[in-house]
């Protein structure tokens, strides 16, 4: 009864992995109204990074709610917002000194593009094939991970050009060959379609998220940095999915040591409260004419700020970046062992707790097996998502404080699912 009511009242535009009614969450688990317990290895697409209802986050939200719920940034300077910006500054690379806050990842990317345009006086943006940056007009235009995100909504805003992402598994080439090809194609794009003088920014996810959990090799990112330095194009690093410790470093771009000009952040930022941020240097941010960017809610939710501040504290105090790295290695080792036993072709990859398992059959994406495994896991109460252009990448996004025991439980369920699906 409740389920059918729920179906009528909520838009069908949400694809739903699990349609049971969830009433509570605790750590790596969620509970439905029938008392069933599910191991949540989606973390709400990387949002509940400290697990569900971490007591310190809940406590910070409750305390803040008693003090100030909302302080609109154009009208006042909420102390908690300034405290959070200062704390975030201590966690970002030296090039990222100052922040603009908004509510969603897409909003942060929209703002980053506006900042790049106003700062450079140039119109165009280069994005990468397979990238995902959101579902608003400009961010749809920057997205090419799947046709569903664009189809039926075109024409999209102009001034966006795509270059190939260094996905050596897709190309079937060595990492070196793939990097060389992709950097050459980017140079060619600058020679043929959008000259450097017309290009405000290059935007990249250091690990492709929706596009299939593919890390960009360090040499490629360093190549991008070199092109940007040579041409004055700004480098926007979109860490909306990969940031805040998810990859076993605070920021995934640290694996390459590149310097972002603009950093976009969201998802795990506030452990579940809606919030996002754009970071840049003082010099860059100062090129924004006051009032030319903003929003009623951006930065104003004192409760989100308190949750974000507590999230940073939990990440630091509980050493969640280190845990993500250690648990990610354990997870990948378990997955390697599992796949060595079955005749399923799988590429297991990723940093930290952003792990993808790409399934192929006869060299082609094997979407059906991915769907079958996901469904079998759900039956055994393990929630896993799928991503990738071919819909054939099982993606692992447990909370950053997941335990070794929970990883083992999930891997046992996963192995039974594979056994069930391939036999
Ligand atoms: C890398 C990246 N950028 C941007 C977005 C858009 O964020 P939101 O869904 O909060 O608008 C996402 C969401 O999945 C993402 O993964």
Per-residue 3-state assignment (H helix, E strand, C coil) for 298-311: CCCEHHHHHHHHHH
Find out whether the beta carbon of 109 lies less than 6 Å from any atom of ligand 1. yes
* Whether residue 122 is found in the same domain as residue 263: yes
| Together in a domain, 292 and 220 | yes
Q: 416 C-alpha to center of ligand 1: Å?
A: 32
Which strands make up the sheet holding 37-40, listed edge to edge?
22-26, 29-32, 37-40, 382-383
Taking only the tens place, the pLDDT of each residue in 292-349 is 999 999 988 999 999 999 999 999 999 999 999 999 999 999 999 999 999 888 999 9
Mean pLDDT of 77-89: 97
**pLDDT tens profile 136-149:** 999 999 999 999 99
Instruction: Please name the residue whose Cα sits nearest to atom 4 of ligand 1.
Output: 133
> Which of the four pLDDT bands, split at 50, 70 and 90, describes residue 3?
low
CA 345 to ligand 1 centroid distance, Å: 29
Q: Whose CA is nearest to atom 7 of ligand 1?
A: 105
Q: How far is the CA of 159 from the centre of ligand 1 (A)?
A: 20
Tell me which of 265, 299, 317 is where a domain ends. 317
Pocket test for ligand 1, best of 209, 236, 274 (most atoms within 8 A of CB): 209
The verdict on the CB of residue 406 being under 6 Å from ligand 1 is no
Q: Tokens 């941010």 appear where?
A: 285
pLDDT at position 72, please?
Answer: 96
**Residue tagged 């009511």 (tokens):** 5
120 and 179 share a domain? yes
Q: What is the CATH number of the domain that holds 335?
A: 3.90.1150.10
Q: Could you tell me if the CB of 105 is within 6 A of ligand 1?
A: yes
Please give the torsion angle defined by the CA atoms of residues 163, 164, 165 and 170, in that order, rounded to the nearest 10 degrees: 170
Query: Taking 70 as the threshold, does the pLDDT of residue 5 lie above it?
Result: no
Does the Cβ of 205 fall within 6 Å of ligand 1?
Answer: yes
Atom 10 of ligand 1, residue of closest alpha carbon: 105
Ligand 1 atom nearest residue 238's Cα:
1
Nearest to 27 by CA among 36, 40, 14: 40
**383: CA distance to ligand 1 center in Å?**
20
Separation of alpha carbons 121 and 98, rounded Å: 21
Phi, psi of 169 (to 5 degrees): -65, -40
Q: How far apart are CA 234 and CA 115, in angstroms?
A: 10
pLDDT for 8: 82
Q: Which of 101, 111, 128, 134 to mutate to test the pocket of ligand 1 (most atoms within 8 A of CB)?
A: 134
- pLDDT per residue over 172-211, tens digit each? 999 999 999 999 999 999 999 999 999 999 999 999 999 9
Q: State whether 280 and 349 are in the same domain.
A: no
Q: Choose the residue to mutate in 47, 103, 133 for probing ligand 1, maximizing ligand atoms within 8 Å of C-beta.
A: 133
**Pocket of ligand 1, candidates 48, 104, 105: which has the most ligand atoms within 8 Å of its Cβ, to mutate?**
105
Tell me if 132 CB under 6 Å of ligand 1.
Answer: yes
- Residue 1: pLDDT above 50? no
Q: With beta carbons less than 8 A apart as the criterion, state whether 254 and 260 touch.
A: no
Pick from 266, 288, 317: which residue ends a domain? 317
Domain at 194, CATH number: 3.40.640.10
Host domain of residue 181: 56-317
pLDDT score at 2 = 53
CA of 422 to the centre of ligand 1 (A): 33
309 shares its domain with 332 = no
Same domain, 6 and 69: no
Measured from the CB, is residue 104 less than 6 Å from ligand 1?
yes
**Using an 8 Å Cβ cutoff, are 298 and 73 in contact?**
yes
Q: Strands 199-204 and 124-128, how do they pair? A: parallel
Q: How many residues does the chain have?
A: 423
Same structural domain, 307 and 359:
no
For residues 99 and 69, membership in a common domain is answered with yes
**Domain co-membership, 417 together with 278:** no
Q: Kindly provide the b/e burial profile for residues 152-178, where b requires at least 16 CB atoms within 10 angstroms of the residue's own CB.
A: eeeeeeebbbbbbbbbbebeeeeeeeb
Sign of CA dihedral 61, 63, 64, 68: positive
Question: Considering its fold, how many domains does the chain have in total?
Answer: 2
CA separation for the pair 64, 32 (Å, rounded): 28
CA 239 – ligand 1 centroid, Å? 9
Cα dihedral 403→405→408→413 (10° resolution): -100
For residue 134, report the distance from its CA to the centre of ligand 1, in Å: 5
Ligand 1 atom having least distance to the Cα of 267? 10
Contacting residues for 2 by C-beta, under 8 A, at least 6 apart? 21, 33
Angle at alpha carbon of residue 52, lines to 7 and 36, rounded to 5°: 55
Q: Which residues contact 69 (CB under 8 A, 6 or more apart)?
A: 301, 302, 303
Amino acid 86: pLDDT: 98
- Asked whether residue 159 falls in the same domain as residue 60, the answer is yes
Are 73 and 44 in a shared domain? no
CA 107–ligand 1 middle distance (angstroms): 9
CA distance 124 to 226: 19
What is the per-residue pLDDT for 345? 85
Whether 161 and 218 map to the same domain: the answer is yes
Q: Which residues contact 391 (CB under 8 A, 6 or more apart)?
A: 146, 365, 367, 370, 371
Of 270, 292, 317, the residue that ends a domain is: 317
CA distances to 42, 288, 323, 380 from 395, rounded to whole Å, are 8, 38, 18, 17
């Amino acid at each position: 009864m409740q389920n059918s009511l729920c179906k009528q009242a909520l838009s069908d535009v949400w694809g739903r992995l699990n349609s049971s009614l969830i009433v509570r969450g605790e750590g790596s688990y969620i509970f439905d109204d029938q008392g069933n317990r599910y191991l949540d290895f989606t973390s709400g697409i990387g949002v509940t990074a400290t697990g569900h209802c971490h007591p310190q986050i809940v406590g910070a939200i409750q305390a803040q709610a008693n003090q100030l719920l909302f302080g609109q940034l154009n009208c006042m300077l909420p102390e908690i917002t300034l405290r959070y910006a200062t704390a975030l500054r201590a966690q970002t690379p030296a090039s990222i000194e100052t922040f603009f806050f908004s509510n969603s990842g897409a909003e942060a990317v929209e703002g980053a593009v506006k900042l790049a345009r106003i700062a450079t006086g140039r119109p165009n943006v280069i994005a990468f094939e397979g990238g995902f940056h959101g579902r608003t007009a400009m961010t749809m235009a920057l997205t090419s991970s799947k046709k569903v995100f664009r189809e039926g909504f075109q024409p999209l805003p102009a001034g966006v050009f795509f270059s190939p992402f260094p996905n050596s598994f897709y190309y079937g080439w060595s990492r070196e060959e793939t990097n060389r090809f992709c950097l050459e194609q980017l140079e060619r794009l600058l020679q043929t379609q959008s000259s450097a003088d017309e290009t405000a920014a290059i935007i990249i996810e250091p690990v492709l998220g929706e596009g299939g959990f593919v890390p960009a090799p360090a040499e490629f990112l360093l190549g991008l940095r070199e092109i940007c330095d040579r041409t004055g194009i700004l480098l926007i690093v979109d860490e909306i999915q990969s940031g805040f410790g998810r990859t076993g470093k605070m920021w995934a771009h640290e694996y390459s040591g590149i310097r972002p000009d603009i950093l976009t952040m969201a998802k795990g930022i506030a452990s579940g409260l809606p919030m996002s941020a754009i970071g840049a240097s003082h010099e860059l941010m100062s090129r924004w004419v006051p009032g030319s960017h903003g929003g009623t809610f951006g930065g104003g939710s004192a409760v989100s700020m308190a949750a974000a501040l507590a999230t940073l504290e939990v990440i630091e105090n509980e050493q969640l970046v280190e845990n993500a790295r250690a648990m990610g290695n354990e997870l990948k080792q378990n997955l390697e062992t599992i796949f060595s036993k079955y005749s399923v072709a799988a590429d297991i990859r990723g940093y930290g707790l952003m792990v993808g398992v790409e399934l192929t059959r006869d060299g082609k994406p094997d979407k059906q097996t991915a769907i079958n495994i996901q469904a079998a896991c759900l039956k055994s109460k393990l929630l896993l998502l799928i991503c990738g252009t071919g819909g054939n990448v099982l993606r692992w996004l447990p909370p950053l404080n997941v335990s070794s025991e929970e990883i083992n439980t999930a891997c046992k369920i996963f192995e039974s699912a594979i056994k069930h699906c391939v036999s």
